[in-house]
Chains A and B, each alone.
Chain A
Amino acid sequence: GDSVTQMEGPVTLSEEAFLTINCTYTATGYPSLFWYVQYPGEGLQLLLKATKADDKGSNKGFEATYRKETTSFHLEKGSVQVSDSAVYFCALSRQAGTALIFGKGTTLSVSS
């Protein structure tokens, strides 16, 4: 069945460091891909999305490119801030369905 695999955390970085969180997927067809973020004490929020191959989603300095050839959707940010500390979830939604399939989440901790 469809699945999402993301790198295990926690990821610990200093402020202004470069961030990469790897995400790969297995799915039939052409899914839409998402990154959701969960800040401490808050609900899941959509960070960015891409709906077809080679699309780049971006928001708040974060970017991810939908790579069909490698079935990947890695999250990157050039310079992280303490306020980026959160749990990040990669997810997919199949074209034919609507439920989101999530990875296990990656905890990011940024220190000043």
Chain B
Amino acid sequence: GAGVSQSPRYKVAKRGQDVALRCDPISGHVSLFWYQQALGQGPEFLTYFQNEAQLDKSGLPSDRFFAERPEGSVSTLKIQRTQQEDSAVYLCASKGSGGVQETQYFGPGTRLLVL
């Protein structure tokens, strides 16, 4: 069956540009997560949605980062005025409604390079 998909897979941006990263979760999955993975590091939590509600955005590193999921399905992570330190792989994961133990399924990620 279809897994989590993300687009674009690769994005090169000039410093100061705005970027938008898309995540299509597994159909019917209620929960959606965004993570940031710097080179050689583990993923770090950015934000979490349950349906269309953004329940936790404590991991967003600055107010240049904004995420939305207006219809409770597709989500977009937007980064305004990109900086070189934003270069990383951005991972999206979705999870069904079976409680905290249920597995998070990850997409392939979007690799962002800011020049």
Question: Could you list which residues of chain A lie within 8 angstroms of chain B, going by C-beta atoms?
Answer: 4, 32, 36, 42-46, 49, 51, 89, 91, 93-105
Contacts and interface: CB of A to CB of B under 8 A. Distances in A.
Nearest to A107: B40
B106 A98 contact: no
Given A32-B101, A49-B101, A51-B101, A43 B40 contact: no
A105 B42 contact: yes
A32 B100 contact: yes
A-B complex: 5 closest residue pairs judged by Cβ atoms: A102-B42, A44-B106, A99-B45, A43-B108, A51-B101
Nearest to A103: B42
Nearest to B31: A98
Contact of A105 (B31, B41, B106): B41
A99 B93 CA distance: 10
Interface of B: 4, 31, 33, 35, 40-45, 48, 56, 59, 91, 93, 95, 100-101, 103-109
Nearest to B56: A99
B108 A42 contact: yes
Nearest to B105: A46
B10 to A, nearest CB: 12
Contacts of B106: 36, 43-45
A100 B104 contact: yes
Contact of A100 (B45, B107, B108, B109): B45
A5 B54 CA distance: 29
A102 B31 contact: no
Contacts of A95: 100
11 contacts: A43-B91, A43-B106, A43-B109, A46-B103, A49-B101, A97-B56, A98-B31, A98-B95, A100-B33, A102-B44, A105-B41
B45 to A, nearest CB: 4
Given A43-B91, A44-B91, A89-B42, A99 B108 contact: no
Nearest to A44: B106
A103 B45 CA distance: 12
B41 A104 contact: yes
Nearest to B95: A98
